[in-house]
Structure 1
Amino acid sequence: MSVQALEETRTLLGRSLRHITRSPDTIITTAIMPIAFLLLFVYVFGGAIDAGTDNYVNYLLPGILLITIASGIAYTAYRLFLDLQGGIVERFSSLPISRSAVLWAHVLTSAVSTAVSLIIVVAVALIMGFRSSASPLDWLAAAGILMLITLALTWLAVIAGLSASTVDGASAFSYPLIFLPFLSSAFVPTDSMPTPVRIFAEHQPVTSIVDTLRNLLGGQPVGSEVWIALAWCVGLLLLGYVVAVSIYRRRVT
């Protein structure tokens, strides 16, 4: 990306962030459902779930963080869809502005707002008893993985925003992603699942990402699981970026 494209992205990012600051309920709404899941599983179901640990909040938090990300990217698809319907994207395409700048502005806006939501969820988890023995480097690595999966899923959300024919269709993209952690090691160990479900759970991206985050936040060795998690994140990011840019070019030409 050229210097000019970076400057254009920065300008459009400022525009999108101003919309967020004028409507902070977006961030609050994104955090509400994950916090509700956190409260429900810890205080209602926690006593009946054997996760092999005395502190279920510690076990649960990585999966809740992924649900937070999945909740947040729905707004990316929604905002992009509204921009397309409102004609602002067509106006941008008629100006000497880098096409990638328009999409990157939406993606980076999602990254910023999702990061705020994640901080809120972690703060609530701390109040509920979450404790971590992770080093600063472990925390930094966990934050990096969370941001990488945020970018990957946001680019997939851009595809939904560009392809949807209705507002509801754009927003509905996140629903399967919110459900996916329930079929992983996010809430219970995969050993307790029926064989077909266990096989799926152990070979889908959420499990490797959740296990890596859980080990990092617990100050434990991550082993080879981290490379599987990174491969999923990078693969989804590249796939989402290539397909989104291709669809965008077809729409604005």
Structure 2
Amino acid sequence: MSTTILVHERSPAPATGGTLIADGLAMTGRHLRKIKAAPGVLILTQTMPITMLLFFGYVFGSALAVPGQQYRAFLVPGLLAATAANGLMTGMFQAAQDCDRGVMDRFRTLPMSRAAVPLGSTAAEVLTTAAGLVPLMLVGLAAGWRIEGGAADALAAFGLLLLFRFATSWAGYWLGLLIRNEEAAGQLGSATFILPLLSSAYIPTDDLPGWLRTLAEWNPISALAAATRDLFGNAAPAADAAWPSAHPVAGTLAWAALLLAVFVPLTVRRYARGGRA
């Protein structure tokens, strides 16, 4: 007489609104406590823009000319945009670190929404970025940058920066789930430093060669940098630029919506499947 043993795999909790919100808040708290316990990556990513402001603004500032304004006033919004885009690196590193240390496998055994883990991480990214942008803005004010627009426009600029950080964090989290190795993610993350260099974050794109200018103006970071300058009242977008840079607020919203539409489902699916391709 044969005996059949049935093994039931625990299925995830249904992704209802209440479950997703509660589980997502729990994961957000977990990531914030993790950052508090090991703040090295946060300190590095938040102090780097300030270092770059001091370096570019005072070392190279006299050699770089921006029509109609001081270079430091041009640079600060670009650094804010580059900081928001840095969610690609931090999201990738956090996901790869949890995979490499087996944390993801333990999370998958818990009866909670599959979207809660990446949602908690990306939400924590938004909160830490909101706090980290303040010192950069204060140093920028001390360096000569000014918010010349209205309060509503300034808040809209801040909101765009956080929205873009949220979107790039999802893209980075998906990459981290693919890489699944902490050291490899750290090495690849350092390569993302080139993305703001290929944008209008640090220099105007007007004098770039034709093909390079097109590439820079279609870079999502260029749209965000132009939108931030426009909303802070620092500079009007160039009328002859590519569409995302000529209409930077709409362009930034479009880029953020595209990133979220692509990478939210990809990330949740990849997380649910674990190490399977």
> What's 1:141 paired with?
156
Q: Counterparts of 1:83 and 1:74 in 2: how far apart (Å)?
A: 14
Task: Give the superposition deviation at 1:99.
Answer: 0.9
Pairing 1:170-185 to 2, within 5 Å after superposition: 170-185=185-200
Q: Counterparts of 2:66 and 2:47 in 1: how far apart (Å)?
A: 24
- Is this contact kept in 2: 1:16–1:105, CA < 8 A? yes
> What's 1:158 paired with?
173
> What's 2:117 paired with?
102
Greater share of residues in helix = 1
> What's 1:196 paired with?
211
> What's 1:39 paired with?
54
> What's 2:272 paired with?
249
SS in 2 for 1:191: coil
Letter of the structure 2 residue corresponding to residue 37 of structure 1: M
- Is this contact kept in 2: 1:208–1:225, CA < 8 A? yes
Structure 1, residues 127-153: CA drift from partner, whole Å, max 9, x if none?
Answer: 211111121111111011101110111
- Is this contact kept in 1: 2:227–2:249, CA < 8 A? yes
Task: Give the superposition deviation at 1:92.
Answer: 2.1
Return closer, same or farther for 1:217/1:64 CA change in 2, 3 Å cut-off.
same
Q: Counterparts of 2:275 and 2:116 in 1: how far apart (Å)?
A: 13
Runs of 5+ unmatched residues, structure 1: none
Q: Counterparts of 1:53 and 1:36 in 2: how far apart (Å)?
A: 25
> What's 1:11 paired with?
26
Task: Give the superposition deviation at 1:72.
Answer: 5.0
RMSD between aligned alpha carbons? 2.1
Which of 32, 37, 52 lines up with 1:22 in the alignment? 37
Matched, 1:114 2:129: yes
Identical-pair percentage: 32
Matched, 1:235 2:272: no
Q: Counterparts of 1:12 and 1:183 in 2: how far apart (Å)?
A: 34
Letter of the structure 2 residue corresponding to residue 227 of structure 1: A
- Is this contact kept in 1: 2:199–2:222, CA < 8 A? yes
Runs of 5+ unmatched residues, structure 2: 1-15, 238-245
Q: Counterparts of 2:72 and 2:264 in 1: how far apart (Å)?
A: 34
Task: Give the superposition deviation at 1:55.
Answer: 2.4
Task: Give the superposition deviation at 1:176.
Answer: 4.5
- Is this contact kept in 2: 1:70–1:174, CA < 8 A? no
- Is this contact kept in 2: 1:138–1:219, CA < 8 A? no
Higher mean C-alpha displacement, 105-114 vs 70-79? 70-79
Letter of the structure 1 residue corresponding to residue 84 of structure 2: I
Task: Give the superposition deviation at 1:165.
Answer: 4.1
Moved beyond 4 Å, runs of 4+? 219-223
